[in-house]
Structure 1
Amino acid sequence: MDDDLDGLSREELIAEAKRLRAGIRRHRDASGQELCWHHPALWGLLPEPLDPAIAVPPWPKFLRGCVRYRESLDAQAPGAPVDDREFGEE
C-alpha cells in the first residue's frame, strides 16, 4: 500500500512528512463547528483515491453519536473555551 515511498529520496521523504504533518495539524487545530464535519481533505493526504461512498447512520443514531462526542470533549478537555456561535456565523 505504501510502495510509493520506496523510491523517494531523503529530501522527498522529508517533504512528504512535512506535507502530512501540515494536514494533520490543520485537522488537529479545527475548532468550533469544524470538529463535527466530514474531513475528505485529511483523507486526501493519502496516495490512494478517496472513495466518496460513505455510510452514515440514521439521524437518531447519528445525533446520539454527536452528543457522545461532545460529552467526550467535556471529559477530555474540560477547560476548553466555549465557542457559542451558530454554524455559519463569523
Structure 2
Amino acid sequence: MLPELVIEMDDDLDSLTRDELVAEIVRLRAGIRAHRDSSGHDLCWHHPQLWGLLPEPVPHDLAVPAWPQFLRGCVRYREALDRELPNAMAAEDDYQGG
C-alpha cells in the first residue's frame, strides 16, 4: 500500500520539464546536505525545514514520545553514533538555547 501512496504524492513530478526536475533535485540535495552537515545539539531538534522540502504540508498532529521514552531514544541514537562513527569529534559545548 505504501508504494501506491508515494506515487500519488509524487504525481506533481509528471508535469515538470527536465530543467524543472533538475532544479528540484538540486533543491532537495541542498536540504539533505544542510541536515547532514548539522552537528552538535542541532542534531537533536525537530527539522521542519527538511520536511518542508516536500510538497505536502507537515502534519499538525505529530505524536511525540513521553519524556522517558524520548530520552531512551536519545541515548540509543548516541550509542548508534558511537558504533557507526566511532572517530567522530565530540563537541564539548553544552546547549545554550532558550
3-state DSSP of counterpart to 2:61:
coil
- Normalized per residue, the structure richer in helix is 2
Q: Deviations over 1:5-43 (max 9, x none)?
A: 111111000000000000000011110001111111101
1:62-81 alignment, distance < 5 Å: 62-81=70-89
3-state DSSP of counterpart to 1:84:
coil
**Counterpart among 22, 36, 41 of residue 28 in structure 1:** 36
**Where has structure 1 moved over 2 Å in runs of 4 or more?**
none
Letter aligned with residue 46 of structure 2: H
Aligned residue-pair number: 89
Identity score, percent: 64
Q: TM-score, normalised by structure 2?
A: 0.86
1:22-61 alignment, distance < 5 Å: 22-61=30-69
3-state DSSP of counterpart to 1:72:
helix
Inter-partner Cα distance in structure 2 for 1:6 and 1:78: 42
Q: CA RMSD in A?
A: 1.1
Q: TM-score, normalised by structure 1?
A: 0.94
Inter-partner Cα distance in structure 2 for 1:78 and 1:31: 15
Q: Deviations over 1:34-76 (max 9, x none)?
A: 1111111101100011113211111111101100100110000
Q: What's 1:83 paired with?
A: 91
In structure 1, runs of 5+ residues without a counterpart are none
Inter-partner Cα distance in structure 1 for 2:35 and 2:21: 21
Letter aligned with residue 63 of structure 1: L
Letter aligned with residue 64 of structure 1: R
